[in-house]
Amino acid sequence: MHDHRTTTEARLKRVLEERLWPAVYPESVPLTVGVWHAPGEPVPVAEGIAAPRTPIEPGAPWGPPWGTSWFTVSGTVPEKWAGRTVEALLDLGFDENMPGFQCEGLVYRPDGSPVKGLNPRNQWVRIAAPARGGEEVHLHVEASANPVILDYHPFLPTELGDRETAGDVPQYRLARMDLAVFDQTVWELAHDLEVLGQLMAELGEDTARRWEILRAVERALDAVDLQDIGGTAARAREPLAGVLAAPAHASAHRISAVGHAHIDSAWLWPLRETVRKVARTASNMTALLEDEPDFVYAMSQAQQYAWLKEHRPEVYARVKKAVADGRFVPVGGMWVESDTNMPGSEALARQFVHGKRFFLEEFGVETEEVWLPDTFGYSAALPQLVRQAGAKWFLTQKISWSRDNKFPHHTFWWEGLDGTRVFTHFPPMDTYNAQLSGQEVAHAARNFREKGAATRSLAPTGWGDGGGGTTRDMLARARRLADLEGSAKVVFEKPSAFFEKAHAEYPDAPVWTGELYLELHRATLTSQVRTKQGNRRSEHLLYEAELWSATAAVRTGHPYPYEELDRLWKEVLLHQFHDILPGTSIAWVHREAAERYARIAAELEGLIGAAQRALAGDPSAGRTLVFNAAPHGREAVPARGARPEREAPNGTGCVPRAGGGYVLDNGLLRAEIDGRGLLVSLYDLRAGRETLAPGKAANLLQLHQDFPTMWDAWDVDEFYRNTVTDLVDAEAVEAVDGGTAGAVRVRRTFGSSAVEQVLTLPPGAARLEIATEVDWHETEKFLKAAFPLDVHADRVAAETQFGHLYRPTHTNTSWDAAKFEACAHRFVHVEEPGWGVALVTDSTYGYDASRAARESGRGTTTTVRLSLLRAPRFPDPRTDQGTHRFRCALVPGAGIGDAVREGWALNLPERRVAGSATAVEPLVTVADEAVTVTAVKLADDGSGDVVVRLHEARGGRVRTELACGFPVASAVRCDLLERPVETGEERCEGGLLPLELHPFEIVTLRLGRGATEEA
């Protein structure tokens, strides 16, 4: 038989594109359209509907960037269409290749009730089926002129990312606004041919199945009269029935499709626009659920449900009904799909607390899966948090983006820092915006790494990023792929159904231990420093506000600010979303974040101040109390308590250095700063050894060219290290206050920028503190601060949530080499047996660590560099321009416990409050500093119980006691949501509660207060 395969395939493609798809709507009439352009920000629905309209025709421009236009469309169903299916086709000027990334609309009835959303892949609105001739049509469309930020030539700098700079040039031209007849039979024929054509393209040319499909397609195309498609469509479907009915092989891969619309809570649009994106998508999905009985839709992010509840209660009511029906499925159990690298310990725990609690209170749903398809790497602390939040499964897709190494599993057990394991799945379809195309389905089956041991994978199905969700076309494909020879089997079902089946068939899945490091998007640890600093500061202020408010409530009856803390936590958690905290959103988002962080800080300072004043007593008594919120005592002030201020220890000597510069000496350390303002020696007088690598200078600022191959704000590519400029020229090196302050000030200029640093050796402290202020005006540059250390180490310890993890300083393997930029919270620690160095920071997350051979050839040294600033131009062309302040400290002779302590101390400065109290005793005290308390608060249920969360912080086992500074009536171990766990009540005698923790274990205790201490 002659081979006409390529001809038939080309014929199929053209007939589909040029004849069949257009014939789905064989008849149409134009609608009458009027428009009102809302001034400024979006208006309430009633106002938008009531506003006067001006006539507008297709082809007319509309929509300044970020503007809102209200369109009204009206018309009459022609009499000859009676009994047929009629839809409105409303094209706002869409580019079908950009769903979620351009203009969108929400359709309303005249009474203001929402119908469905409009986007580039969802432009239809069902009017009637069957229609009545003469039926009047009247609809309103709230249209958002969201500008295209990520265009066909991506990553070009644009001013469209902020309404303050975007201008007012219309972004779109109104397109088709018609009433049309929908031909269901033609639509079904087109999907038959599309699915078979896509399947055929994935089958081997030598397989009989491919040729069976090809011949059937030929017969169907022959049966179609291109001048009478509607009249011949049913006949053309007949030759396809047999090949569509052939069942899949028994061994076929099984795909659980889950309706989905990954909606970024902010990214290339501001938060206020996400509120509307969620409403459009939820309207679409609840409407689709009504039309499609086998469809299941899943939505994560409690914050997005909360937005619906507040701003679109009528949509929320539909969602609640669909949830109750088991069709609209809350997943994830987090407040937002947050970044997991940078949020602090308590913040990451509270993502689960607030997310899970919302779903429980609103829907009675206990979410069991953590749903993070798009976050940029996953902390090793997550498995324990997942389990302690009452969940048991984890899903992500993002690791498939790694550039260097292909992850070896798609279904596996993920083991975290403490040894906790969680059953985890990476969809092998390699997308969280699946369309169920033949190519995607075939790729999932071929790519699945567990073949021979497992048979199932999951496919999040629907347009995401900017929203939109699943379409009826995707469901049409799924119906045909449910049991089709040559394809994987596709069925829509809940994520929990997938996980139950996957777990049951693969209980002995392989184990991956440690973080899930994404070998991409490493610069997210540094971009938009103001946002990162706002987050770090807010986390510590929240810790203090809870601690001192709880202490004041127990000690004095001071009212505990439940509502304020709940609201502020949710605000901070929202800004930990994986395109806000990582610094990858448009300028508008980060400008608003800075404003919100300032308001959060002011409010938390007010709560802290009120609680401390209640504890301190009469401010006119002439006494000053020092409050220490840190988990460790310092300078005679206990952890989480207060004592009267004492005299400061003796000062630090500051004398000129031979050859230029100064020498600082406080009896514990001696620091030499040379004439260039560089730290050339930091001698540990206690250990009798030098901290710095021989012949090297520390606190060396280094400037790199930084222009990645793509994803500017996200990425730093390894080649950035090929070029570097050491900033060694100083304009001034001078002793602060004539040398009496034990500090040296250094000023430098470079490019268009300037930097001032103050290096201080505090009296009685074994650390060198460095305060840095940078007036930053560079473009596409990367600023690092280097600390070469005389320590031979093949790994460094970097703090993460509730512990630390080790990363290599070498590049033995491609997996090691890929971690050339990584995340640390408050410290990086480098150690030889018996002596180490900690580098602690107050707001820096990105770092790198490397090793170098000594010039003598004897051993190696280790260099740790902090990542201070970047200057990408997309999506914010002025990223981080302006003044920034950083604090860090170098701590010689530090063990891992010292690193933990110094990190907390730097981030929680002491507070001095005037008062009459002789002391403020801590509510709880831990006997062993290996145990770190991360939260002291009152229980969220308003019972007055004291909740304490703590963890083992050094990576070892510990037996100790928790001493309670108030009468305790009961003590119960709880999960993160403060619900008792099955271990029963703890034994607490004489106010002492025995504790036994394994490495990095998290424990949450709920302490019922004795009657005599009730406030």
CA 998/CA 957 separation, integer angstroms: 4
pLDDT at 1013: 43
What is the residue whose two structure tokens read 């004398």? Answer: 655
CA 994/CA 987 separation, integer angstroms: 7
> φ, ψ for residue 314 (rounded to 5)?
-70, -35
What secondary structure letter does DSSP report for 17? Answer: I
| Tokens describing residue 521 | 């998007």
The answer to whether residues 705 and 723 touch, using CB atoms and an 8 Å cutoff, is yes
| Tokens describing residue 486 | 């040559």
DSSP-derived pairing of the beta strands 968-974 and 980-985:
antiparallel
- Find all residues with CB under 8 Å of 668, minimum gap 6, and list them: 684, 685, 686, 764, 765, 766
CA 378/CA 393 separation, integer angstroms: 14
pLDDT at 412: 98
Q: Is the dihedral of CA 973, 974, 979, 984 positive or negative?
A: negative
- Counting residues of the chain whose pLDDT is more than 70, the rounded percentage is 99
pLDDT at 531 over 90: yes
| Tokens describing residue 609 | 């101040």
pLDDT-based confidence at 1, cuts 50/70/90?
low
Give me the chain's average pLDDT, please: 96
**251-300: pLDDT as tens digits:** 999 999 999 999 999 999 999 999 999 999 999 999 999 999 999 999 99
What is the residue whose two structure tokens read 């630390």? Answer: 804
pLDDT-based confidence at 1015, cuts 50/70/90?
very low
pLDDT-based confidence at 960, cuts 50/70/90?
very high
Considering only CA atoms, which of 302, 911, 878, 306 is closest in space to residue 594? 878
Q: What is the arrangement of strands in the sheet containing 846-853, beginning at the earlier edge strand?
A: 725-726, 700-705, 781-789, 860-870, 846-853, 822-823
The answer to whether residues 559 and 753 touch, using CB atoms and an 8 Å cutoff, is no
pLDDT at 457: 98
Q: 339, 374, 712, 876: which is the annotated catalytic residue?
A: 374
DSSP per position, 753-801: EEEEEEEE--TT-S-EEEEEEEEE--SSEEEEEEEEES---SEEEEEET
SS3 571: helix
- Find all residues with CB under 8 Å of 65, minimum gap 6, and list them: 145, 146, 147, 160, 163, 166, 167, 168, 169, 171
SS3 467: coil
Q: What is the pTM of this model?
A: 0.97
Residue 925 to residues 627, 896, 931, Cα–Cα distance (Å) = 15, 21, 10
Task: HSE, CB side, 13 Å, CA atoms: give it for residue 711.
Answer: 15
| Tokens describing residue 1000 | 């990095």
pLDDT-based confidence at 944, cuts 50/70/90?
very high
The answer to whether residues 408 and 449 touch, using CB atoms and an 8 Å cutoff, is yes
SS3 53: coil
Indicate the helix (H) or strand (E) that contains 290. helix 271-291
> φ, ψ for residue 609 (rounded to 5)?
-60, -40
Average pLDDT over residues 728-751: 94
Active site residue 374: yes
**837-850: pLDDT as tens digits:** 999 999 999 999 99
The answer to whether residues 385 and 328 touch, using CB atoms and an 8 Å cutoff, is no
pLDDT-based confidence at 3, cuts 50/70/90?
confident
The answer to whether residues 568 and 544 touch, using CB atoms and an 8 Å cutoff, is no
**463-485: pLDDT as tens digits:** 999 999 999 999 999 999 999 99
CA 768/CA 798 separation, integer angstroms: 19
**355-394: pLDDT as tens digits:** 999 999 999 999 999 999 999 999 999 999 999 999 999 9
Average pLDDT over residues 341-359: 98
pLDDT at 622: 85
SS3 5: helix
112: left (phi over 0), alpha (psi -120 to 50) or beta: left
DSSP per position, 60-77: -EE--TT-EEEEEEEEE-
The answer to whether residues 328 and 495 touch, using CB atoms and an 8 Å cutoff, is no
What is the residue whose two structure tokens read 């090297």? Answer: 696
Q: Is the dihedral of CA 107, 108, 109, 115 positive or negative?
A: positive
| Tokens describing residue 133 | 């001739």
Task: HSE, CB side, 13 Å, CA atoms: give it for residue 468.
Answer: 31
742: left (phi over 0), alpha (psi -120 to 50) or beta: left
DSSP per position, 82-131: TTS-EEEEE-SS--TT-TTSS-EEEEE-TTS-EEEEEBTTB-EEEEESS-
| Tokens describing residue 985 | 């009540």
Q: Is the dihedral of CA 130, 134, 135, 140 positive or negative?
A: positive
pLDDT at 4: 78
| Tokens describing residue 555 | 């000690």
What secondary structure letter does DSSP report for 19? Answer: I
The answer to whether residues 274 and 586 touch, using CB atoms and an 8 Å cutoff, is no
**786-807: pLDDT as tens digits:** 999 999 999 999 999 999 999 9
| 883: Cα separation from own chain's centroid | 26
SS3 652: coil
pLDDT at 1014: 42
SS3 170: coil
Scanning 425-574, the segments in alpha helix (DSSP H) are 438-447, 472-481, 495-505, 529-556, 562-574
CA angle 498, 501, 503 (to 5 degrees): 100
**657-698: pLDDT as tens digits:** 999 999 999 999 999 999 999 999 999 999 999 999 999 999
817-839 as b/e: b if 16+ CB within 10 A:
ebbbbbbbbbbbbbbeeebbbbb
pLDDT-based confidence at 1012, cuts 50/70/90?
low
pLDDT at 139 over 60: yes
* Percent of the chain that is helix, strand, coil (3-state, to 5): 30, 30, 40
| Tokens describing residue 876 | 């914010």
Residue 615 to residues 552, 557, 632, 842, 947, Cα–Cα distance (Å) = 6, 10, 20, 27, 19
- Residue of 987 and 181 predicted with greater confidence: 181
